[in-house]
Amino acid sequence: MKHRANQAIGIFDSGIGGLTVANAISKHLPQEELIYFGDTANMPYGDKSKDLIKSYALEITNFLLNEKKCKAIVIACNTASAAAYEYLRDVNKGATPIINVIDPIVEAVIADDTIHKVGLIATKTTVESGIYQEKIARRKPSLLQVALPTPLLAKMIEEGFYNDQISHAVIEKYLNDVILDGIDALILGCTHYVLIRDEINQHYNNQIKLFDSTDIVALKLKGILENEGLLNTKRKNENVFYISDMTENFRESAKMFYGEKINLELYKIWNKIN
C-alpha cells in the first residue's frame, strides 16, 4: 500500500531508552506525528536471544503498520536493530521505510577520516552480534575497532543513576578497561547512554569523538522521508507514547529520557495476543 505524508512515524524500543531517539526526531521533524511503542513488558532486550527479539520486533512493527497505519518505522534500539532489522526489512519487502539506529552511526564513523581507532560500548546482544564491527570492517577495513559489552549501564540509567557517584564509579570501571586504550572515538551503542554522554565526555576530557543515536538518526530519517516524498507539512494529532507494561518507575523515568514531560499510555499488546 502506498503511504501518505500525513501518516505517523512509528518508533519502537525495548522500553523507554528509545525516547532519546524519539525526542531527537521530534526536534528535527516537529511537523511529524510520532507513535512510540516501548516494550517494557519484555525489557531488557540486551541479554535476550536474537530469535526472541525478532519475534517481539515483528509483532510491534505489525501493530504500528497495520493498526496505527504508520508510514515509516524507526527501530530506536541498538539491540533490536542488531537482532531484527534485516528480518523486518525482508518481511516488509520494501513497502515501508524501516530505519535502524546502527547504519546511520556506522556511516558517520566511517565518513570521519580523523578517526583511527573506534570503540563500541553496548549491550551484550549488540556487541556479540558483531554487527557494528562487521559493517565498519566491510566499508573501512583500515579502521581499528574494539568493543566492550557494558551490561550494567542501561539498568543503572533506568534506575535513575546518572550524573552521580554511583554512575561515575561504574562508568570509570568500564571505560578504564584496557581494551578501550588508545581509542579516538566511541560509539554509544545503546539508546540509554545518551543520558551519560556528559560523564563519558568528562572521562575522556572531551578529547575523543562520541557517536550516539539521536541527531544522526533523526537526520537520516529526515533524508529518507524527503527522498520518498513522505515529509509531513503539518501535524494534526499529538504524539502518542505506548508502553506494554506500566509501573510508576516508567512514568517517572519517561521525563528523564524524553527531556520533557510526556504521558505514557499502557497498551497490552502481549495480553491481546494470548
What amino acid positions are annotated as catalytic residues?
77, 190
Nearest-approach distance from CB 14 to ligand DGL, in angstroms? 3
Give me the residue whose beta carbon is nearest to ligand DGL. Answer: 46
Which residue number, 59 or 228, has a Cβ lying nearer to ligand DGL? 59
Nearest-approach distance from CB 95 to ligand DGL, in angstroms? 25
Nearest-approach distance from CB 78 to ligand DGL, in angstroms? 4
Under 8 Å CB-to-CB from 114, ≥6 apart: which residues? Answer: 184, 209
Nearest-approach distance from CB 72 to ligand DGL, in angstroms? 19
Which residue number, 13 or 33, has a Cβ lying nearer to ligand DGL? 13
DSSP-derived secondary structure for 128-146: HHTHHHHHHHHH-TTSEEE
Which residue number, 23 or 191, has a Cβ lying nearer to ligand DGL? 191
Cα–Cα distance measured from residue 192 to residue 55, given in angstroms and rounded to the nearest whole number: 22
Residue 206, helix vs strand vs coil: coil
Which residue number, 3 or 192, has a Cβ lying nearer to ligand DGL? 192
Angle between helix axes 215-227 and 19-28 (nearest 10 degrees) is: 50
CB-facing half-sphere around the CA of 272: CA atoms within 13 A = 9
Under 8 Å CB-to-CB from 255, ≥6 apart: which residues? Answer: 261, 262
Cα–Cα distance measured from residue 97 to residue 95, given in angstroms and rounded to the nearest whole number: 7
Which residue number, 21 or 230, has a Cβ lying nearer to ligand DGL? 21
Which of 46, 32, 267 shows the shortest CA–CA distance to 151?
46
Q: Which parts of this chain interact with ligand DGL (CB under 6 A)?
A: 13-15, 17-18, 43-46, 77-79, 123, 126, 154, 190-192
**Which cell numbers in the block locate residue 268?**
497490552
Nearest-approach distance from CB 189 to ligand DGL, in angstroms? 7
Amino acid at 114: T
Q: How many CB atoms lie within 10 A of CB 107?
A: 14
